[in-house]
Amino acid sequence: MSTTTGATRVSSVDVACAQAHETAPWFAATDLSTRAGLLEAIADAVDSHIDELVPIAMAESRLGEERLRGEVGRTTGQLRLMANVVRDGVFLGVVIDHADPSLTPPRPDLRRMNIPLGPVAVFAASNFPFAFSTLGGDTASALASGCPVVVKSNPGHPQLSDAIMAVAQDALVAAGAPDGVLGLVDESLQAGIDLVNDDRIEAVAFTGSQRGGLALAKIAADRPRPIPFFGELGSINPMFVTADYLAGRETELAAGFVGSFTLGAGQFCTKPGLLIAPRDETLRAALIEAVGGAPGQRMLTDGIRDMFLAGVDARVSIGDVEVLHAGGLDDANDEVRPTLMAVSANAILAHPELLEECFGPMSLLVEYDDAEQMLRIADALPGLLAAGVHAVGDESVLAELLPRLSAHAGRVLWGGWPTGVAVTWSMQHGGPFPATTRPESTSVGAAAVQRFIRPVTYQSVPEEWLSPALHDANPWAIPQRVDGVLD
């Protein structure tokens, strides 16, 4: 019988948290090779079940087969990247200072390393049913840190969550892991609240709406013993265009921008929500033509669709907003057509609500008259996941614009478009509030593991009671800084 069929893998919050708490010491003590092997075992199992998992995802998410197969590859790639992060050992941050009685005051033997926080609650996201969901980046990075994970299923794809959890849990058992390394609770609102409130949970990772994220963050902060909450809450991801760059590139720029903000029905957290460009009729015409040729698409759920349409209506009702291309819902096939609006630089500064994310295929052209207006918009931006510049390279305004974007965004692009986030060692997918609740962290890339660890210094503890990572012989062959020298 297929691994993805049969009894549900959903547990009660109490059972899932109890199992995670019980297995946490075992998991934290695993050697790096064992832990990396568990991540790779999950990845291999998911790849081998792709033909069973993708049809379930298609039925629940309204996404196409090609997109979902690609997403499975991203998911297993994330797991394998985290296995490499584990084997590398740098994330442990090992520092050894041997005792030195000649110093004033004398220095005892001090050994410092990062240890796992403990069980982590992960809230599965809706827009990437594989890559940001049950076995997404949050789960992969928490497991890499040595933390058991309890996943809260997403209401948009509960059957897929159950099926892929079965694959992962069976792979862990086959690899020798005990119960509790990875668990699943149901998609209900109450299950999420109970999970964050459970004292056995040591941290929470969330990708979703600002409203939902802040409600959960408050619960995490108001617990008798508060815990870290790592929330990705959305972003408008503005793209700035200089006058020197625009001249002669209007059609190319319009095609790239429209293709990016309509990709996946605009349901990417990195969708460019603003195009800030000089007032230019040729660009306007090119944008209208490009968005008019973009097809309608079905959105992930009826609820997401309805929230999107309400967000479009709210923006249209603002008197300073001009509709360049009206989209809307095609009732016959339940497809949403993209909407493009325009607003002046002064008007968007007067309406800060236009700087909030609208999740779906809608974007704003913000037209400025001079470089000073462009810089004023940059100053007014909220926290962002990404911001970008299309420029020739010798414009004097760049010396002021780029530092402003760095102050507001976790990722700054030169050319190109923000949709598409590479899963690699150097990626930063985070940013100041409201993009995320923890701007010092990332939810994509190798550094994501840093969210779920904390440093501990061991003073004069005999070596036999310490992790092998702290031994002088360095049996794990990982980087160590010894007496100030990095080995």
331 confidence band (pLDDT: 50, 70, 90): confident
Domain presence at residue 2: no
Torsion over CA: 100, 106, 111, 112 (sign): negative
User: Is the same domain home to 293 and 226?
Assistant: no
Matching residue, tokens 């010491």: 25
User: Is the same domain home to 320 and 409?
Assistant: yes
- The domain total for the chain is 2
Domain presence at residue 366: yes
Matching residue, tokens 């390393």: 113
pLDDT averaged over every residue in the chain: 96
Give the CATH number of the domain where residue 314 resides.
3.40.309.10
pLDDT in tens, 299-317: 999 999 999 999 999 999 9
User: Is the same domain home to 344 and 463?
Assistant: no
User: Is the same domain home to 273 and 390?
Assistant: yes
Q: What's the token pair of residue 293? A: 């040729």
Domain stop point among 354, 379, 414: 414
Domain presence at residue 421: no
Helices of type H across 123-225: 137-145, 158-174, 189-197, 210-222
End-to-end CA distance of the chain: give it in Å, rounded: 51
User: Is the same domain home to 371 and 447?
Assistant: no
pLDDT at 7: 56
Burial category of 441 from C-beta neighbours within 10 Å (exposed 0-12, middle 13-18, buried 19 and up): buried
Mean pLDDT, rounded, for 214-243: 97
Domain presence at residue 343: yes
Burial category of 440 from C-beta neighbours within 10 Å (exposed 0-12, middle 13-18, buried 19 and up): exposed
Beta bridge partners of 275: 239, 365
CA-to-CA distance for 25 and 28, rounded, in angstroms? 5
Collapse the DSSP code of 51 into the 3-class scheme (helix H, G, I; strand E, B; otherwise coil) and give the result. Answer: helix
User: Is the same domain home to 92 and 226?
Assistant: yes
Provide the residue range defining the domain that includes 37.
13-233+438-482
User: pTM of the entire structure?
Assistant: 0.95
6 confidence band (pLDDT: 50, 70, 90): very low
Dihedral, 226, 227, 232, 236 alpha carbons, nearest 10: 40
Domain presence at residue 420: no
pLDDT of residue 4 exceeding 50 = no
H/E run at residue 459: strand 453-459
User: Is the same domain home to 298 and 379?
Assistant: yes
Q: Are 10 and 195 in contact (CB under 8 A)?
A: no
Nearest to 415 by CA among 266, 291, 245, 262: 245
Nearest to 114 by CA among 142, 141, 92, 136: 92
Say how many C-beta atoms besides its own lie within 10 A of residue 189's C-beta: 11
Active-site residue numbers?
232, 269
User: Is the same domain home to 158 and 247?
Assistant: no
User: Is the same domain home to 85 and 227?
Assistant: yes
Domain presence at residue 4: no
pLDDT of residue 1 exceeding 60 = no
Domain stop point among 414, 429, 460: 414
User: Is the same domain home to 389 and 459?
Assistant: no
User: Is the same domain home to 333 and 394?
Assistant: yes
User: Is the same domain home to 256 and 401?
Assistant: yes
Pairing of strands 485-486, 481-482: antiparallel
pLDDT in tens, 356-408: 999 999 999 999 999 999 999 999 999 999 999 999 999 999 999 999 999 99
Domain presence at residue 3: no
pLDDT at 142: 98
Domain presence at residue 152: yes
Give the CATH number of the domain where residue 476 resides.
3.40.605.10
CB half-sphere exposure, 467, CA atoms < 13 A: 27
Beta bridge partners of 97: 110
Give residue 386's identity as a one-letter amino acid code: A
CA-to-CA distance for 158 and 59, rounded, in angstroms? 11
Domain stop point among 380, 414, 448: 414
